[in-house]
Amino acid sequence: MSHTVVILAAGQGTRMKSARAKVLHEVAGRPMLGWVLDAAIATRPSAVMVVVGHEAEAVRASLPAGVSSCVQEPQNGTGHAVAVAMAAIGELDPDHTVLVIPGDTPLIGGETLARLVEGHHSSGAAATVLTAVLDEPAGYGRVVRNDDGAVVAIVEQRDADAATLEIKEVNSGMYAFRAGDLEARLAELRPDNDQGEYYLTDVAAGSVELGRMVRAIVADATQIAGVNSHAQLAGASAVARRAILETLMAEGVSVVDPARTYVDHGVAVGAGAILHPGVHLHGASSVGAGAMVGPDVYCEDSTIGPGARVWYSVLRSASVGAECEVGPYASLRPGTVLKKASKAGTFVEMKKTVLGERAKVPHLSYLGDATVGERANVGAGTITCNYDGFEKHETHIGDDAFIGSDTMLVAPVTIGKGAFTGAGSVISKDVPEDGLGVERSDQRVIPGYAARRRARYRKRDG
Amino acid sequence: MSHTVVILAAGQGTRMKSARAKVLHEVAGRPMLGWVLDAAIATRPSAVMVVVGHEAEAVRASLPAGVSSCVQEPQNGTGHAVAVAMAAIGELDPDHTVLVIPGDTPLIGGETLARLVEGHHSSGAAATVLTAVLDEPAGYGRVVRNDDGAVVAIVEQRDADAATLEIKEVNSGMYAFRAGDLEARLAELRPDNDQGEYYLTDVAAGSVELGRMVRAIVADATQIAGVNSHAQLAGASAVARRAILETLMAEGVSVVDPARTYVDHGVAVGAGAILHPGVHLHGASSVGAGAMVGPDVYCEDSTIGPGARVWYSVLRSASVGAECEVGPYASLRPGTVLKKASKAGTFVEMKKTVLGERAKVPHLSYLGDATVGERANVGAGTITCNYDGFEKHETHIGDDAFIGSDTMLVAPVTIGKGAFTGAGSVISKDVPEDGLGVERSDQRVIPGYAARRRARYRKRDG
Amino acid sequence: MSHTVVILAAGQGTRMKSARAKVLHEVAGRPMLGWVLDAAIATRPSAVMVVVGHEAEAVRASLPAGVSSCVQEPQNGTGHAVAVAMAAIGELDPDHTVLVIPGDTPLIGGETLARLVEGHHSSGAAATVLTAVLDEPAGYGRVVRNDDGAVVAIVEQRDADAATLEIKEVNSGMYAFRAGDLEARLAELRPDNDQGEYYLTDVAAGSVELGRMVRAIVADATQIAGVNSHAQLAGASAVARRAILETLMAEGVSVVDPARTYVDHGVAVGAGAILHPGVHLHGASSVGAGAMVGPDVYCEDSTIGPGARVWYSVLRSASVGAECEVGPYASLRPGTVLKKASKAGTFVEMKKTVLGERAKVPHLSYLGDATVGERANVGAGTITCNYDGFEKHETHIGDDAFIGSDTMLVAPVTIGKGAFTGAGSVISKDVPEDGLGVERSDQRVIPGYAARRRARYRKRDG
């Protein structure tokens, strides 16, 4: 039997005190809504409809292909939101299942939602509510069951008597509905409350009142937690990060301190890799088998090859090949490609630069818009003067070249294969293969200069 | 009714194995005593008297204006300390309230102390003890109450029988006393114990024995925790840091990992700002709305403007304007001012330097004692030679100037508006507006040099 | 009475998905087996025999002098492993004690093992099993005792009835055996199980069946935890690190955030030192009294002297003297020695370099294969050109020398005492004492150059 998912993502997140839509706040590097969508899509629904409201355009822009959206305006409660969604979805077979979930429960798992849908199908209920058992249920709606386990009431905290308050099974706000029952109940919904809003809880309650079968399925308490504040956001992020790392560790990755390692959903890390504390792996990043990463590495949209060692460095849209060494204290900016066994050492920055196999840039250098040949050695203090104040230009360094310390490579310029440059030279003309380029005056030595200067200062200050 | 606060801060903290007075050890970036003083002052007392002993001068130097101190010498117990304080305070109305609190309970809250004072006033008791209910009360003095809730005994662990050991309500060591009763009991105090010391607990016990009314008020267990070791110091710091961050998060700040974020009491952070892991905000620092700070930023006595991005950097007494970019890997030392939308990039150090709006210092530079005009571009490897071995001198760079890579600016020197300097130049004379300053020889190219050198080495080693 | 320890270290750690032997995976910076060996050796045994299997050579190479090893090949179960060990040990007095412990329980303490051995001796049992009481014993073998406390059965989870499953005392897999009983039972051992392996548990069970006395001694649950996955490895590491830090804190070290401080076993830290978050102290490292280390320091095989301040830096096989300053952002590589009160500042890298007392290298420098005299000042941008593409050469800088900014020191070269070098100079010839070495052209100023260039670009693009 097929089903449709409705995700409620119209809220503003007033308690976040943020202009952003609440569901776009990030948990472990991706918007909450992305996590919820993943769980929804994992149930293989026939369609997904996201109800958007505040910051509607930004929320829509975050949706993957194949997911529909509709706008709830004004935001008149969760029941109203579902009614808007049902109108947008169009006619459904009355026996079709509609799964309704909030957009701000990033820890919900796909297998839990699948269990909800399957349980709903097999019982033939009008509505099935996902619940959880909490040690401290205060604030939540309580789920009252009869001896058969059927739901006979969902009672809000404020309406509950003492006996009901003792119940620890609570409503998660996630439901599977029979489409026919959902539509009939939505049509009957009235805003009989102080806020004048239409509540989804009343849909389930309405089915109960009419004697229709309502069931409940219990989920892990962690999974139903909604995020309504930055503190809850931080808490959910910690749980999500830990789950990502548990998966990596089970696959053979060493994580020295999981509480201090920040890996986004979807980042692949090979077996035998070691992640030291303070590592951030974000976006479309990957780490090869046996690589050592960290301490203190920020890696965004970058690949780190097998057996590489990257520590105390920042990588953005960079590619680090197998067995490369990066850091401590390197910054690899977009377009940097380090081929196999090459090195970007200490206080080295690169941008749009390709470093050939076994080439080395050990210290204090800036290379931009450059290519460096295989086995070339770039001395400390080398800078590609790639910007003349008006335009960017390219630098090319041949295989086996030896760039002397403090060489200024005034681009566009080419250093031939096997060529040398003298330390401290400004190289503005090409150097041929196996040649030397040097720009230097003669060194002068002035005996006694320092002694005389000291004496002068001493006299003046004396 | 007014009250006076006595803070007991004479202890040495033997278990800290430190020369410092115990109360000067820091919790979340400030001395323990500072936290206790804040709580005391929040009760709006008529006076605050701090009893100092070990490292008396250092403790006194840490006190804010309006707080008095007296010296307990020798340190003959807590009862003796209060007697010293009462002598220093001078005559008090017998109905005046004296609040006595230890200096090593940094988590005590002002609202809790206020509740103690108010409860004491409203009951008219001779003494009111602040208590807490502990799951594991072992080691603490137990508070025995009668059916009316009045305190009938405070029994030390060593003197307690089995029934008393079952009591989980414990003495915090914080009290509100009626001044008349306090003075009478202090006068009767005897050092009847192995240490020969005068104990404050005996003051409360004395009132009970005389049939005077003694009440108890229960506080949260966290708040009464004393710090007697580095492990307890670390624990208290974690609690204090978390509380600071909870407040910021409630105000709309995103804290990616609250367990790895270190913000001092009193640091303001604007709504919408994001604090990444490894951020330290110390002293008189502030962060503007929407700024992104971290990962791994140390910020001491510095301001970060709205919308700025500061990461992997160290800031001390620096001012970073709105929309500036700092790092990765920048060090901004005292006197650095970055005006709006300017940039201090990678491997950049600044000291006593003002960077104009939209000016950029992207890479590998040291600027000290300098001013940089608006929109100026300072090339990689630029250094202000501000120290000649004897004195510091200033460098001035005009608006829209373009400083070539590896320029040495030998101060005092001025680069005019819109002027250029050639890469690799030592600039020791001023460059006029729109002019070029360059210091360079002609580049020579020596064909075959590298090949010959290689051959020579091969021959020698062959 | 003397005893021999057998450590079972043949396992591969399939669930680690690692080519390495399981016991070589690191907990708080040292292999698990190292921790277990320490605990074993602390019991002062007459001999220690380690049974190795997977990656036998690597495991053997990790053993300290005085520890024997034997190879179990194939790995036919723990009982088989002990039989291999007994054969390798040779004949033992029947009353001799054999302590058998797994190699993958890094948290076991020496005092616990000593208690096991002593309890075994004093009871005269045939076997004594170390146990722990777990809240959640599922998966472990349960220890069934009679009214005298003697062990009457050790029942595996799969064989346990409902009553036995309620028992919370579990088998740790650590035993003390009477050698005579152990040998007799090993000889009777049969691989009567699905895996066809010989199990050590059957040895203890065999003694029970024969009516021999088997006792149990209870240990702390934390100590018996085995490591079978990267998640458990991370968990054990956290416990081990915390224990190391608890010891340091008790000795007077301030640890700002123990959850984010990584100190290896054996690293000495002096009283009054402060370790900030993100500090890693590995290998043969030490920190002197009153030093401030961190945030974010990686220190491997290096010493930090009393009162030094090291932050945001990486040290490997380096020696930092008393009252030195290092960082933020320095990299000290092997062979670096900083004498008293010297400074390696920001963006400074050193290798095989000795810095004299009070010498300073404040910014943006690379010094390799160099000596720097007392009180010398090395300007920003200074680089020792120690590698000519073929060989490394040395640089010597005298006392009180002043190296101008951006000086290239082309080694081999010597700068005399008190000498100066001019900013931007390439120094390839020695500079005598008190002299000046300078390599520079005259600065030219070309008025209007920048204006003309701008006009040209504007015209071209216009």
Nearest beta carbon to residue B444 from set A15, A18, A438: A438
Inter-chain residue contact B443 with A432, CB threshold 8 Å: no
Please tell me the distance from the alpha carbon of residue C441 to that of residue C438, in angstroms, as a whole number. 10
The three-state secondary structure class of C257 is: coil
What is the reported pLDDT for C190?
85
Q: What is the pLDDT of residues A231-275, one digit of tens each?
A: 999 999 999 999 999 999 999 999 999 999 999 999 999 999 999
What is the reported pLDDT for B192?
79
Residue pair B78/B8 in contact (Cβ under 8 Å)? The answer is: yes
Tell which of C297, C408, C421 to mutate to test the A interface (max A CBs under 10 Å): C408
Q: What is the pLDDT of residues C19-58, one digit of tens each?
A: 889 999 999 989 999 999 999 999 999 999 999 998 899 9
Considering only CB atoms, which chain C residues are within 8 Å of B412? none
Q: Looking at this protein, which amino acid is placed at residue B243?
A: A
Whole-number average pLDDT of chain B: 95
Inter-chain residue contact A328 with C347, CB threshold 8 Å: no
Q: Looking at this protein, which amino acid is placed at residue C138?
A: A
What is the reported pLDDT for C288?
98
Please tell me the distance from the alpha carbon of residue A424 to that of residue A434, in angstroms, as a whole number. 19
Inter-chain residue contact B443 with A420, CB threshold 8 Å: no
A363: annotated active-site residue: yes
Q: What is the pLDDT of residues B193-252, one digit of tens each?
A: 777 888 898 898 888 888 899 999 999 999 999 999 999 999 999 999 999 999 999 999
Q: Looking at this protein, which amino acid is placed at residue C212?
A: R
Inter-chain residue contact A443 with C453, CB threshold 8 Å: no
Mark which residues 379-398 of C lie under 8 Å from B by CB: 379-381, 389-390
Burial of B462 per CB tally in 10 Å (0-12, 13-18, 19+)? exposed
Please tell me the distance from the alpha carbon of residue A417 to that of residue B98, in angstroms, as a whole number. 85
The residue with greater pLDDT, B115 or A194, is B115
What is the reported pLDDT for B419?
97
State yes or no: pLDDT of A339 exceeds 70: yes
Nearest beta carbon to residue A429 from set B381, B441, B443: B443
**Chains in touch with A (≥3 Cβ pairs < 8 A):** B, C
Confidence band of A5 (pLDDT split at 50, 70, 90): very high
Inter-chain residue contact C418 with A442, CB threshold 8 Å: no
Q: What is the pLDDT of residues C266-289, one digit of tens each?
A: 999 999 999 999 999 999 999 999
Q: Which of B121, B265, B363, B396 is catalytic?
A: B363
What is the mean pLDDT of the segment spanning B256-269? 96
Inter-chain residue contact A435 with B443, CB threshold 8 Å: no
C158 contacts chain A (CB < 8 A): no
Nearest to B353 by CA among B364, B365, B363, B341: B365
Global confidence as pTM: 0.94
Considering only CB atoms, which chain B residues are within 8 Å of A428? 443
The residues pairing with B254 across neighbouring beta strands, listed in sequence order, are B274
Burial of B460 per CB tally in 10 Å (0-12, 13-18, 19+)? exposed
Confidence band of B460 (pLDDT split at 50, 70, 90): confident
What is the reported pLDDT for C402?
97
Six-digit token pair at B146?
Answer: 């009668």
**Chains in touch with C (≥3 Cβ pairs < 8 A):** A, B
Please tell me the distance from the alpha carbon of residue C248 to that of residue C267, in angstroms, as a whole number. 10
Tell which of C349, C407, C421, C425 to mutate to test the A interface (max A CBs under 10 Å): C349
State yes or no: pLDDT of B1 exceeds 70: no
In the DSSP assignment, the letter for residue B126 is: S
Q: What is the pLDDT of residues B388-398, one digit of tens each?
A: 888 999 999 99
The residues of chain C scoring below 50 in pLDDT are: none
Please tell me the distance from the alpha carbon of residue C99 to that of residue C3, in angstroms, as a whole number. 7
Confidence band of B462 (pLDDT split at 50, 70, 90): low
The three-point CA angle C330-C332-C336 to 5° equals 140
Whole-number average pLDDT of chain A: 95
Nearest beta carbon to residue C234 from set A257, A423, A442: A257
Q: What is the pLDDT of residues A85-98, one digit of tens each?
A: 999 999 999 999 99
Nearest Cα of chain C lies from the Cα of A233 at a distance, in angstroms, of 21
* Dihedral over Cα of B81, B82, B83, B88: its sign: positive
Burial of C205 per CB tally in 10 Å (0-12, 13-18, 19+)? buried
In the DSSP assignment, the letter for residue B119 is: H
Percent of chain A at pLDDT exceeding 90: 87
The three-state secondary structure class of C116 is: helix
Tell which of C248, C249, C400 to mutate to test the B interface (max B CBs under 10 Å): C249
Burial B376-388 (b: 16+ CB within 10 A, else e): bbbbbbbbbbbbb
**Chains in touch with B (≥3 Cβ pairs < 8 A):** A, C
Nearest Cα of chain C lies from the Cα of A404 at a distance, in angstroms, of 8
Nearest to A172 by CA among A237, A219, A228, A120: A219
What is the mean pLDDT of the segment spanning B431-435? 97
Nearest beta carbon to residue C443 from set B349, B406, B437: B437
Q: Which of C3, C363, C393, C396 is catalytic?
A: C363
Q: In sequence order, what are the residues at sequence separation of 6 or more whose Cβ sits closer than 8 angstroms to the Cβ of residue C171?
A: C129, C131, C140, C141, C142, C143, C154, C201
The three-state secondary structure class of A274 is: strand
What is the reported pLDDT for A206?
87
Nearest Cα of chain A lies from the Cα of C437 at a distance, in angstroms, of 5
Q: What's the farthest any 2 CA atoms get from each other in chain C? A: 107
State yes or no: pLDDT of A181 exceeds 70: yes
Considering only CB atoms, which chain A residues are within 8 Å of B311? 298, 314
What is the reported pLDDT for A1?
64
Nearest Cα of chain A lies from the Cα of C187 at a distance, in angstroms, of 38
Nearest Cα of chain B lies from the Cα of A428 at a distance, in angstroms, of 8
Inter-chain residue contact C18 with A449, CB threshold 8 Å: no
What is the reported pLDDT for C462?
67
The residue with greater pLDDT, A128 or A388, is A128
Considering only CB atoms, which chain C residues are within 8 Å of B420? 449-450, 453
